[in-house]
Amino acid sequence: MKLYVKFDFTTICRKVLEEQLQHFNHKFRIPAFGEVEFLEPLQPQEMEELTAALQGYGIEVIENQKTALVQKIKDTITEMVFGEEAPTVKASVYLAEKLNHSYGYLSNVFSEVTYTSIENYIIIQKIELAKQLIVNAKMSLTEIAFQLNYSSVAHLSTQFKNTTGITPSQFQRIIAKRRDLSNQK
């Protein structure tokens, strides 16, 4: 028997952070995703223990301001792409408004730290969502292209192939074969 689940990464991360932070008996608050504000100072030893505890969950403590901003950009893009409601404005406007910086500045910092563009990162996230929709939602490519704001299935297919090396149709066939094989067992 298989159980299919859907995750809300924001909720999961927030819950893990709260649980781990409560072990240190320091007052804290989580003002925004990816940020923790301690209301009293942590000792260096406590910071090391917290960092180690969070690493066990794949959560990394960031000390550099540019790296922290890049993480906020990535989180905002993930929220934008995977969120329930797609934004009605261009990605550049959405990011600038959400992060209170000009898009030019965000783009420069992102490229400097990651060696890729915000546009590339958005495409990668959209293709990841397209793969999830193909696997879990059993939607047609037309429906997926529409949901992800592509102008056409051809546009989605081109970006999908450029990102994954295969077309969405080939991906669908691979998933169908895997399902058939697992159902035969």
Per-residue pLDDT of the chain (185 residues; tens, 9 = 90+): 677 777 777 788 888 888 888 887 878 888 776 778 888 887 888 888 888 888 888 888 877 788 889 989 999 999 899 887 767 788 999 999 999 999 999 999 999 989 999 999 999 999 999 999 988 877 889 999 998 889 999 999 999 999 999 999 999 889 888 888 888 76
- Other beta carbons within 10 angstroms of residue 180's beta carbon come to 9
Task: Give the pLDDT confidence score for residue 185 in this predicted structure.
Answer: 67
Task: Give the pLDDT confidence score for residue 40 in this predicted structure.
Answer: 81
The partner residues of 28 in beta bridges, in order of sequence, read 38
The partner residues of 38 in beta bridges, in order of sequence, read 28
Terminal alpha carbon distance of the chain: 11
Residue recorded with tokens 């240190």: 24
Task: Give the pLDDT confidence score for residue 48 in this predicted structure.
Answer: 87
Q: How far apart are CA 64 and CA 44, in angstroms?
A: 17
Of 101, 96, 151, 108, whose CA–CA distance to 126 is shortest? Answer: 151
Cβ proximity of 41 and 74 under 8 Å: no
- Other beta carbons within 10 angstroms of residue 123's beta carbon come to 16
